[in-house]
Every structure is written in C-alpha cells, then in structure tokens.
Amino acid sequence: MHSIVVVPPGRTRPGDHLSLASGDRLVFGRDPAGTEASGRHLVIAHEGVSRIAGEISAQGTFWTLSNLNRRQTYVVENPEGAGEHIKVAPGRLEAPVPFEFARIVLPAAGELLGFDVWAPQHDYLGEESWVPDGATTVAAFSLDRTKRYFAVLVALCEPRLRDAPPHTALPTAEELAERLRPVWPAASRTAVQWNINYLAVKLRLKPAPEEAESGPRRNGTKEALVSLALRFDLVHEDDLIVLASSVSAASTAASAVGALR
C-alpha cells in the first residue's frame, strides 16, 4: 500500500503526484538521475539545488528526510501548525518528520524552493486495546463548542485552517467581529477582545485578572491562542461551520453546534 505522497513543485494534479510504499526511497535534486543514487528520482531544475540534494524514505505511515547537501540546512514546515517546523542539518540522515502534511523548503541561490509531502495513512489502537481507567481523567482543555468564545477561537484560527502561510497576520478584533456577525449580530471589537482575553485565561495562557501581577502588558495573546489550538487540535477544519455566512448555512450551523450564547 502507498502511504507517502510527494507533490512535485508546481504539479498539483493528482496524476502528477508520486506515491511511495513503505521501504521506497525517492532521491531529489538538480540531476539525481545522472548520478549513482539509487531509488526513484525527483528533478528540481534550479542551479542553486545540489545534483543530489536529499532523499525521502517511506517508513510505514511516516517518512524520513536525509539532507545530502554539505552546507545548507533544510526546513520542513507544517502548513497546518501555526509555524511549526523542524530543521534538518547538512549531512543529517533519515530525520523523522512528524507532520501529516509537510513542506520541504530548500534555500537555493537567493530563493526558497519547496515541495509538499503527505503522510495521510495512520495506525490506531483498536477499541479492544484501550485499558479501562479507574477514576475519570480530567480533560486537558475544557471548551464548550456552543459558546461564543469558541466561535471567536475558530474565527481567529480560520486563516491557518484554510492553509494560509504560517507568517500570515492574524485577523484584528474588528475583522473578527465582522466575520462573526452572520452568527453573532451584536459582535463588536470590544466583545471579541473580551472573549480573546477570556480564552487566554481559560486555556491558562495568562492568569486571571485578580491573580495577575502588575507589570508591562504582554503581547502576542492571539498568536499564542492560535498556536495552542492548532498544536493540540482544539479546533478543526470542520469547526468552520460555526462561521457560516449565509442565512441557510447559519441555520445549519446553529442546529449543528447549538445557539451561540
């Protein structure tokens, strides 16, 4: 079974994708086929890319990356992870990549070139394998998907859920209020900001007002919320239904997640 999918640069049609089964290797570079490198080849036609730049190895439901460049570090980004990435140093062999969807970024003569690698197959424990707990485990993050604060969190994460680049600026409180008005007609900048602050306290990113110490104001609350929500799957693409913009879609959202309170 093919478990790893490589999307060559600029080739988005499924027929152009390269599928790797467990144990398969793919060598990429400017001229990988013109060398003694074994395995399948992916040509990246750029003078700033080494003839043999690197190698991808499929290992069951995950993959590893070998950096075969002598001087340049490669970066593997998680497009869904609010800036998550790993660095693969020159000469590093078979670095495991933990992302389901990843983008390999290669610095090349003043440019940043990239291509995607998908690992959509997963192995999970069967229901019979779970060991019953004694006392109930307290939830790590307690979020009520029917509350306004959750809609604010989804709207805040929306650009990243829709695959915006990790460095894309997050929406302002005014933009969030405008986005939320189809399901929250009274949304305002002040109300949205209150919910952002409430989320930061609820998710323990900052202390409650009565516990906070005096000092300079902290910045980056929105970025911290988005990073936490995406890293721990507190919001998913399916949650975008709470932002439905049409009357009929809003009705569907309301029936699906309950009236926002």
Pick 2 or 167 by higher pLDDT: 167
Tell me: the pLDDT tens digits for 222-239? 999 998 998 888 999 899
Q: Where are the alpha helices (DSSP H) in 132-257?
A: 148-161, 173-180, 189-202, 221-231, 247-257
Tell me: the pLDDT tens digits for 58-83? 998 899 999 999 989 999 998 876 67
**Cβ neighbourhood burial of 64 (10 Å; 0-12, 13-18, 19+):** middle
pLDDT of residue 154: 96
170 in Cβ contact with 223 (< 8 Å): yes
Which residue, among 8, 9, 7, 5, has the nearest Cα to 21 in the 3D structure? 5
Helix or strand or coil: residue 85? strand
pLDDT over 50 (residue 140): yes
Count Cα neighbours of 46 within 13 Å in the Cβ-side half-sphere. Answer: 17
Tell me: the pLDDT tens digits for 42-52? 999 898 899 99
Please compute the mean of the pLDDT values over residues 2-29 and round it to a whole number: 86
pLDDT over 90 (residue 38): no
pLDDT of residue 91: 94
pLDDT over 50 (residue 84): yes
Which residue, among 46, 79, 60, has the nearest Cα to 4 in the 3D structure? 60
Please compute the mean of the pLDDT values over residues 34-41 and round it to a whole number: 67
- Token readout for 156 is 């805040």
Candidate from 2-6, 12-16, 94-98 with smallest mean pLDDT: 12-16
Per the prediction, the chain carries an average pLDDT of 83
Tell me: the pLDDT tens digits for 155-182? 999 998 887 776 778 999 999 999 999 9
pLDDT over 80 (residue 215): no
What is the value of pTM for the model shown?
0.63
Distance CA 256, CA 261 (A): 14
pLDDT of residue 81: 67
Range with top average pLDDT, 28-42, 147-161, 194-208, 239-253: 147-161
pLDDT of residue 246: 38
Element (H, E) at 35: none
Pick 72 or 259 by higher pLDDT: 72
Distance CA 149, CA 155 (A): 10
Angle at 125 between CA 122 and CA 128, to 5 degrees: 150
pLDDT over 90 (residue 87): yes
Distance CA 135, CA 256 (A): 31
